[in-house]
Amino acid sequence: MPKDKTIDFPESELLTELSVLQEELAEFAREHGAVDGGDAVWIFRLVQGVTPDEWESLTERHDFKQWLTLPINSDAFPHLKLVQQTLERLTYQTDHDALTGLANRRAFDRTLDIEIERSKRTRTPLSLAILDLDNFKHVNDTYGHPKGDEVLARFARQLKASTRRYDLAARFGGEEFALIMAGSGVVKAQRLLNRLLGEFREIEFDTPDGGDVFSVTCSVGLTCYKGSVPMTDEQLIKLADDALYEAKAAGKDQVRISKLAFADNVPNDTLVQANEKQFLFGGK
């Protein structure tokens, strides 16, 4: 097959997925000393719209020879497609909140741990925001839980729409949400969050009787990590949570930034003050 043959499926997305998986598996094998003949698993992934010839072309160009493929067509092995669809549905349900469709706490914890380790290896910024709807108990008590659920779902859609494809928006619990922004420093993250708060406070919700409208605001605690100091996921969450508490205490409906741990690594014999360090070394 010619190397320049046009591929009519999202090649870049497939390559990204395979490359990330390949990197994680290789690192896991190095850390755990994997040996031939030991325990192992097969990993199956249905890739629709790819012909055997197209896969062969990808293999030659991107060194995917270690990936075993099983060609199927629309008539062969329909039960395999059903199994794949079932696995995808179960995986989605396991990792997503039923009301909002956002990632749940389980998926959040797993992703945050991965991104912290990635930040340690690459020294790239990682921002974490904890978001909490203001006076949400009043919404439930005054307008009822169905209206409260409507507010939660609407905020989730707004949060999801404000993020990049590789950010992770999660429902942290109750009216609390979280946003993991890999590769974003504090300045870029704060700009995104301020825009989100401004857009959400403009949304009007009808009261159950239809006679009036109300709006809801949100407070945010933001922190950033750049891999230069030891950090656990619990510590990073606490930094963001403490900043959220400050936002609530300062009047709500605002973003507060935590003390950035890596700013303390800057030599004190410079003329840069602590708050300036926060800005200058907060990333991009």
d(CA 240, CA 246): 10
Give the residue-averaged pLDDT of 5-33.
70
pLDDT in tens, 189-204: 999 999 999 999 999 9
Beta bridge partners of 129: 179, 222
Give the residue-averaged pLDDT of 171-180.
95
Q: Which of 149, 150, 167 is nearest to 107 (CA)?
A: 167
Beta 176-182 vs 255-257: how paired, if at all? unpaired
Look up the pTM and report it.
0.68
**Sorting pLDDT into bands at 50, 70 and 90, what band is 3?**
very low
Mean pLDDT rounded to a whole number for the chain: 82
Q: What is the pLDDT of residue 36?
A: 58
d(CA 114, CA 24): 10
Interacting residues of 257 by C-beta distance below 8 A, sequence separation 6+: 186, 190, 222, 223, 224, 243, 278, 282
Nearest 5°: CA angle at 179, between 166 and 127?
80
* CB contact at 8 A, 34 and 83: no
Q: What is the pLDDT of residue 234?
A: 96
Catalytic center residues: 175
pLDDT in tens, 13-24: 777 777 777 777
pLDDT in tens, 44-78: 777 777 777 887 887 777 777 777 776 666 665 66
Which helix (H) or strand (E) segment is 247 a member of? helix 233-249
Res. 212: pLDDT tops 80? yes
d(CA 120, CA 260): 15
Q: What is the pLDDT of residue 194?
A: 97
d(CA 141, CA 132): 17
Cβ-based neighbour number of residue 267 at 10 Å: 6
Q: Could you please state the CATH topology (level 3) that the domain comprising 105-280 is classified under.
A: Alpha-Beta Plaits (3.30.70)
- The dihedral over CA atoms of 50, 52, 56, 62, expressed in degrees to the nearest 10, equals 30
d(CA 271, CA 86): 60
Where do the structural domains in the chain lie, given as residue ranges?
A: 11-95, 105-280
Q: What is the pLDDT of residue 239?
A: 96
Q: What is the pLDDT of residue 10?
A: 65
Q: What is the pLDDT of residue 156?
A: 97
- C-alpha pair distances (Å), 37 with each of 40, 70, 173: 8, 23, 44
* CB contact at 8 A, 165 and 207: no
pLDDT in tens, 121-167: 999 999 999 999 999 999 999 999 999 999 999 999 999 998 888 89
Res. 2: pLDDT tops 50? no
